[in-house]
Structure 1
Amino acid sequence: MESNRLDRDDAAAQLAVLQADRAALADRSMQPWWYDALLGSCVFVLLGAQAFDDPVVTVVGCLLGVAGLSWLVRTYQRLTGTWVSGFRKGRTRKAIAVWLVLYVLVVVPAFVLHLGYGQHWVMAVAGAVLGIALAFISRWWSRIHVAELRGAL
């Protein structure tokens, strides 16, 4: 009988430690505001470079965009000590689904206008729209993730 009580008390103590660890992880998981702004800027650079219709500018823009994204990943890992896939299971999938639908709805017509009709400027507009949208969706995704971490085990 006493053994069951000790096991229950031990389990409760371990659960409290796990919940405290999750709360600490949630506290450090929310990225600073500038992270979302730079993430959106990287998307703008990646797509906006297409507007110049110059292979050198396109390659440089892509390299800068990818380098910026890589730097953001490393910075987030350094600041939080973790990395979470955007495509993980959970409530965050709703934010990713919104991002993917929006991306397709903006990029497909933009590329049709760019490649099929010579309207190169449309890629800069698409990059700006998607960059701003991603900054907000990134913040939304993070809030959902932090709320999940703060939830009960």
Structure 2
Amino acid sequence: MTGGVSDREAAVAQLQVLEADQAALAHRIVQPWWWDAASGLLFAGFVSSYAAHRAWVVLLALVLYLAGLRALVAVYRRRTGTWWDARRVGPVQDRVRLAVRWWAIGCAGLLALGGAAEYLLDLRGTMVVVGVLLGTSVALLGRWVTRVYAAGLRAGR
């Protein structure tokens, strides 16, 4: 029976299943709060390492930062069974890209100011403060991006 009531009911049922799957995915992709906190702490630790004024400390901090990120990604994938690219978050990606662009500009500016204060003005510990500020911003931005993406999935956008 083509075009009949049963075809319409089947289509409605399939659409409801797709919407339920989309809502379940939106719920599943939101990482726990500690994931964002850990990524922020890792970034804060790396940036703060510049306060040591030793190249080997910065290199070690970079290795620990990258290893920590890799571990966080592995935990996320194991927990959710998926991975999504924050640079391609569907219909909300313009909002996300704009926010990340402004964050990157602010990050670069803060790193430049902190580096100048730490190394040129010899204000020891400035990079620790910069690290804490940027680590906090990484955690908050990560949380915001995930929430925006999940809301977009729930809304079917």
TM-score, length-normalised on structure 1? 0.87
Alignment-derived partner of residue 130 in structure 2: 126
Corresponding pairs, count: 152
Q: 1:142 aligns with which of 137, 143, 146?
A: 146
Structure 2 unaligned runs (5+)?
Answer: none
What residue in structure 2 maps to residue 76 of structure 1? 76
* 2-structure distance, mates of 1:11, 1:100: 45
Give the counterpart letter for 1:3 in structure 2.
T
Greater shift in the superposed pair: 8-17 or 124-133: 8-17
Q: Which amino acid aligns with 2:126?
A: V
The one-letter amino acid of 1:96's match is V
Q: Retained in 1: the 8 A contact 2:43–2:65?
A: yes
Deviations along 1:79-103, one digit per CA (max 9) or x if unpaired, are 1111111222524334423422321
Aligned equivalent of 1:105, options 109, 118, 121: 109
Cα separation, 2, equivalents of 1:59 and 1:69: 15
- When the two chains are superposed, the root-mean-square deviation of aligned CA atoms in Å is 1.9
Q: C-alpha displacement at 1:22, in angstroms?
A: 0.7
Q: Percent identity?
A: 35
Question: Are the aligned partners of 1:48 and 1:123 in contact in 2 as well (CA < 8 Å)?
Answer: yes
